[in-house]
Amino acid sequence: MNRMRSSRHLEKECHRNLEVIWLLKNLKPDHNTIARFRKNNPKAIARVFRASVSIAKILTL
């Protein structure tokens, strides 16, 4: 949503952004953990984004 693609920027958001802290249940992964997760799960991440867009479309009708 905020066009953050860098694992280091995402790591900062895990410490700063209240919504992210809530979503992660107060976990604070480092940039290496985030990068490995993204590398190891590209198909699952794509499915989650597609599902999120589908839900958003339904809710805006």
Domain spans of the chain, in order of start: 7-59
Does pTM top 0.85 for this prediction? no
pLDDT of amino acid 9: 94
Is the pLDDT at 5 greater than 70? The verdict is yes
Radius of gyration of the chain (CA): 13
CA distance 57 to 51: 10
Query: Using CB atoms within 10 A of its CB, is residue 50 exposed (0-12), middle (13-18) or buried (19+)?
Result: exposed
Q: What is the pLDDT of residues 9-56, one digit of tens each?
A: 999 999 999 999 999 999 999 999 999 999 999 999 999 999 999 999
Higher pLDDT, 5 or 11: 11
pLDDT of amino acid 1: 58
CA distance 39 to 52: 20
On the CB side of 12, CA atoms within 13 Å amount to 5
Largest Cα separation within the chain, whole Å, is 39
